[in-house]
């Protein structure tokens, strides 16, 4: 197993991608600390971990907007588990709104959870990893951290910030043996995105706009996180890895099978 005898802290582990990562890492031998702002949701995941044979999972309720609360939770986890080898930052929210009318408090909440919360967790865990010989940090950014997404100014800004933070920390923490990488998921089916799929045309549009012709599943992101967290990626740090079915790789002016013929007659040809 890839994570035998490793201790992994997963924030936002109460649902969605965080839950899948916690369960997937446990299946690879890791001992898991579930961090979530909902104790009830976190307790459900801890019960799931116990049911699949995970070793003594730990639950800590935390609001990542507070640096003091984060440090208290990490101290609690480190005290129980002895050390922290892996941190995966999944806690996050998103907004959909008009830049002209977005309330300041909504902007501040998205930035506080997605960006500041990620930094607070990295900072607190890195202090402890430095004392125990290093580790691996995986931050959840988004394709919205690599391009600008319409009607998501706070989300896009925060996710771009996570990519920049990841690169900066990769440089600063390398001497302590700490690798820092980011994942940039595309459309992943989670409770937060489930409303998109209520429209029957949405998956048809995915089939046209995503080269792999489907949405992503939480397991797709969990497998990528496992790679970055494990020794398979021992010489990988500072990357922002898209997990998007190829969505970022190709953008056409038109969609569907007519794209090639549309462009073919309009390309500039040089002698």
- Cα–Cα distance measured from residue 68 to residue 73, given in angstroms and rounded to the nearest whole number: 9
- Annotated active-site residue 100? The verdict is no
- Cα–Cα distance measured from residue 60 to residue 190, given in angstroms and rounded to the nearest whole number: 22
Q: How far is CA 228 from CA 44, 161, 182, 232, 245, in A?
A: 26, 20, 9, 7, 18
For residues 32 and 49, the answer to whether their CB atoms sit within 8 Å is: yes
Instruction: Select from 122, 138, 135 the least CA-distant residue to 24.
Output: 138
Name the 3-class secondary structure at 137: strand
For residues 142 and 183, the answer to whether their CB atoms sit within 8 Å is: no
Radius of gyration of the CA atoms of the chain, in A? 20
**Catalytic one among 155, 196, 227, 235?**
155
Sheet containing 240-243: give its strands across.
Answer: 58-61, 31-36, 7-11, 86-89, 135-140, 178-185, 240-243
- Cα–Cα distance measured from residue 60 to residue 164, given in angstroms and rounded to the nearest whole number: 28
Residues near 14 by Cβ (< 8 Å), separated by ≥ 6? Answer: 34, 36, 37, 38, 41, 42, 44, 45
> Helical H runs in the chain?
16-27, 39-51, 67-81, 104-110, 117-131, 153-173, 200-209, 218-229, 259-264
For residues 92 and 31, the answer to whether their CB atoms sit within 8 Å is: no
Catalytic residues, by residue number, are 155
């Amino acid at each position: 197993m890839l994570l035998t005898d490793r201790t992994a802290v997963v924030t936002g582990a109460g649902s969605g991608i965080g839950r899948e990562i916690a369960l997937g890492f446990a299946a690879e031998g890791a001992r898991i600390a579930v961090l979530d702002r909902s104790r009830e949701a976190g307790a459900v995941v801890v019960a799931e971990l116990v049911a699949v044979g995970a070793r003594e999972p730990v639950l800590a309720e935390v609001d990542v907007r507070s640096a003091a609360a984060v440090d208290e939770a990490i101290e609690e986890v480190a005290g129980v588990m002895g050390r922290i080898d892996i941190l995966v930052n999944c806690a996050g929210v998103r907004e959909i709104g008009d830049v002209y009318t977005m309330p300041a408090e909504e902007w501040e909440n998205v930035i506080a959870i997605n960006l500041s919360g990620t930094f607070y967790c990295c900072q607190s865990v890195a202090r402890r990893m430095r004392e125990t010989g290093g580790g691996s940090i995986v931050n959840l950014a988004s394709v919205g951290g690599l391009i600008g997404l319409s009607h998501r100014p706070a989300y896009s800004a925060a996710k771009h910030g996570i990519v920049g933070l990841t690169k900066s920390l990769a440089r600063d923490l390398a001497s302590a043996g700490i690798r820092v990488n980011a994942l940039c998921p595309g459309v992943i089916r989670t409770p937060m995105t489930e409303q998109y799929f209520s429209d029957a045309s949405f998956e048809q549009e995915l089939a046209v706009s995503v080269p792999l012709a489907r949405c992503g599943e939480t397991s797709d992101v969990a497998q990528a996180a496992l790679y970055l967290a494990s020794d398979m990626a021992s010489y990988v740090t500072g990357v922002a890895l898209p997990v998007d079915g190829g969505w970022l790789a190709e953008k056409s002016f038109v969609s569907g099978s007519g794209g090639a013929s549309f462009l073919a007659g309009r390309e500039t040809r040089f002698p």
